[in-house]
Structure 1
Amino acid sequence: MSTLQNITPAAKRMSLFDRYLTVWVALCMGVGVLIGKLLPEPVAALRTVEISHINLPIAGLIWLMIYPMMLKVDFGSVLEVGRNPKGLLVTLFVNWLVKPFSMALLGWVFFRYLFLPIIGAEAADQYTAGVIILAAAPCTAMVFVWSYLTDGDPAYTLVQVAVNDLIMLAAFAPIVKYLVSGASGLEVPFDVLLWSVIVFIAIPLSAGVLTRKLLLGLKGRAWFEQAFLPRLHPVAISALLLTLVLIFAFQADNLTTRWLHVGLIAVPILIQVYFNAGLVYGLMRLFKVEYAVAAPGALIGASNFFELAVATAITLFGPESGAALATVVGVLVEVPVMLSVCSACNATRGWFPERRP
């Protein structure tokens, strides 16, 4: 890797979809609620189309979200981790030994105690479960955008994402099972949770790896990254937005009387984001990790794989549940909050060592 030069980096911009994702999510919330109120019978029919607790319309849309993201991950890059392990170890420590447990504590404190008189016991359990599911899934897709905006090392970001995805296959289900049961009191059927991991992680992950290998061999890396992947990005974003329309249509009755709940759910999520970002960033500085690794590591620790979280909450508790609502609130707040974390990283790059040759 070349050394950093003493020049001001060129301004970087997100795509139109990514930059205004919060706006699109808010619009989809409104459209979804409107559809749910005006067309209750068709919405009720869509809600019942499921196999093994998995809602098929939403499952299909979530597949269209997750599969393009998995195509970006190069698992061969995992072999390079031995060259600079400190950054990855810090990220894994926070993602798997701090983040889910601290979120369970925050959910328990805010929903089952501080906000309980406002939201009631049933909603408290559901919201606690939702934020735990959100925190147990480290970011996979949007972190590439955050890394780009902070001049992160793209190769090392791939390593961090790939290793987290592999750990998620084994760790996500038991963490969700035991934390949700302990913090919220809700029973989580392990077989249903395991099925959601297979459907929403293992299968699209395998399909992405196989497709990537095949197309790289046939067309080459330049065509794959510059022509093929950009075509799929609008598909993934469109699927996300349509999923949100369906979710909010399913929850229309609840949402018309519970707008305050959306703001309350956002409180522990915001605390969690800034806490984890600061913890990773501080540990990276303590261990003298270079900025190009520290910044994306902090962003991975702060953000969530909200597509998986939404799918899991729907599978476990239903598309009209409070748990599903809590995961969607994570989508709503993520973009503006993560942009603020990106700005903080860019402003403090001088705290870290320059890139080593």
Structure 2
Amino acid sequence: MSPTTTSPEPGAIAPERLAVLDRWLPAWIVLAMVAGLTLGRLVPGIAEALDAVQVGGISLPIAVGLLVMMYPVLAKVRYDRLGSVTRDRRTLWLSVVLNWAVGPALMFALAWTFLADLPEYRTGVILVGLARCIAMVIVWNDLACGDREAAAVLVALNAVFQVVALGALGWFYLDALPSWLGLEDASHTLDVSPWTLAGSTVVFLGLPLLAGFLTRRVGEARRGRDWYEERFLPRLGPWALYGLLFTIVVLFALQGDAITRAPWDVARIAVPLLAYFALMWGGSMWAARRLGLGYARATSVAFTAAGNNFELAIAVAVAAFGVTSPQALAGVVGPLIEVPVLVALVHVSLRLRPLFPRAVS
């Protein structure tokens, strides 16, 4: 009897196809972080100059970097397969529970455990936990050979929940819950403008999603799917990582001086964030496997749950507390920890792939 053959799940990517640029991604990210920190520390006024370029409260340099980062990945999504994801209730409900029940509660507990004596930093860390990922997770999912279509649906679901629920969750975790638990020195009530949330969603998800959809629609209509996926996408793909690296440089340039002046504070903020990313990703992969999800969808669920919308967290912290506030610094430390940790988890994820059930051909 011949051995049973298996085929990759829909949306998955063969790991051996990772390009040289992808395989060396940790090194490029470290260099981008160092470049951003160096610029922020050594170039007078660069943080103020970058922060001054805003449209509707959204940093234009960060927006440009994120749009360049997300567009190529969303152009790869096969939108005709989205129906199979929306019919998968296990994946959708697991993602909702992890993102909007488990994630914020876990970050709240970790922030109060490790930053009980630092209320401003604690508030910033809780904000990071409340802002669920709708941007960079698409890149991590793609590098880990996750289900692109599932990732697109899950980040869209997160975007809807953010617009509807973030203000209420901010009140609950920053004001109501600390008071109910009798915690001293409770954080400030968060007054989040719905326009801030809607603007973030449109810029960081809506525009690249629409551009990716139209690119595939027009490209396939004119030249066919084979040309689109075999000729066009390979040329477009590297721009996602160029956008990622540019975004990292800008983020760290904005707070480079503050980070290098207060390394002990950064270390204190990093502890709950490290614990959060590890626990959320590991717990999500375990829960997905227990529910019988295949590797590709389990990976999409895990990275969507572990990642955070740091650009929104920073925007809300800046709007509520000021650009130089400790809360904003805690928001910037978020990607400082998230980016290298989730890049490492991409490699861990690929090594765990044989432990998951695969589609039998």
* Counterpart secondary structure, 1:273: helix
Structure 2: distance between partners of 1:239 and 1:270:
24
Aligned identity (percent) is 27
1:333 equivalenced with 2:341 (yes/no): yes
- Per the TM alignment, residue 213 of structure 1 is displaced from its structure 2 partner at its CA by 0.8
1:191 aligned residue: 195
Which stretch shows the higher mean deviation, 61-70 or 100-109? Answer: 100-109
2:215 aligned residue: 211
- Per the TM alignment, residue 50 of structure 1 is displaced from its structure 2 partner at its CA by 1.4
| Counterpart selection for 1:346 from 340, 343, 353 | 353
- Per the TM alignment, residue 240 of structure 1 is displaced from its structure 2 partner at its CA by 1.8
* Counterpart secondary structure, 1:271: helix
Distance change in 2, residues 1:174/1:327 (3 Å): farther
2:142 aligned residue: 144
Unaligned runs of 5+ in 1: 149-156
Distance change in 2, residues 1:302/1:294 (3 Å): same
1:52 aligned residue: 56
Structure 2: distance between partners of 1:294 and 1:57:
32
1:176 equivalenced with 2:166 (yes/no): yes
Structure 1: distance between partners of 2:113 and 2:219:
49
Distance change in 2, residues 1:162/1:11 (3 Å): closer
What pairs with 1:101-112 in structure 2 (closer than 5 Å)? 101-111=105-115
The number of residue pairs the alignment matches comes to: 331
Q: Report Cα offsets for 1:100-145 as digits up to 9, x if no partner.
A: 433333334333x2xx3xxx33222223212432567793232122
Instruction: Decide whether the 8 Å contact of 1:33 with 1:248 is kept in 2.
Output: yes
The alignment's TM-score, normalised by the length of structure 1, stands at: 0.79
Structure 2: distance between partners of 1:56 and 1:138:
17
Structure 1: distance between partners of 2:83 and 2:262:
48
- Per the TM alignment, residue 5 of structure 1 is displaced from its structure 2 partner at its CA by 5.2
Instruction: Decide whether the 8 Å contact of 2:141 with 2:303 is kept in 1.
Output: yes
**Over aligned residues, Cα RMSD in angstroms?**
3.2
Distance change in 2, residues 1:159/1:141 (3 Å): same
- Per the TM alignment, residue 35 of structure 1 is displaced from its structure 2 partner at its CA by 1.7
1:162 aligned residue: 152
Distance change in 2, residues 1:130/1:342 (3 Å): same
1:152 aligned residue: none
Letter in 1 for 2:37: V
| Counterpart selection for 2:131 from 130, 133, 139 | 133
Instruction: Decide whether the 8 Å contact of 1:32 with 1:249 is kept in 2.
Output: yes
Which stretch shows the higher mean deviation, 246-255 or 39-48? Answer: 39-48
Structure 2: distance between partners of 1:51 and 1:188:
18
- Per the TM alignment, residue 164 of structure 1 is displaced from its structure 2 partner at its CA by 0.8
Distance change in 2, residues 1:227/1:52 (3 Å): same
Distance change in 2, residues 1:215/1:101 (3 Å): farther
Unaligned runs of 5+ in 2: 8-13, 175-186
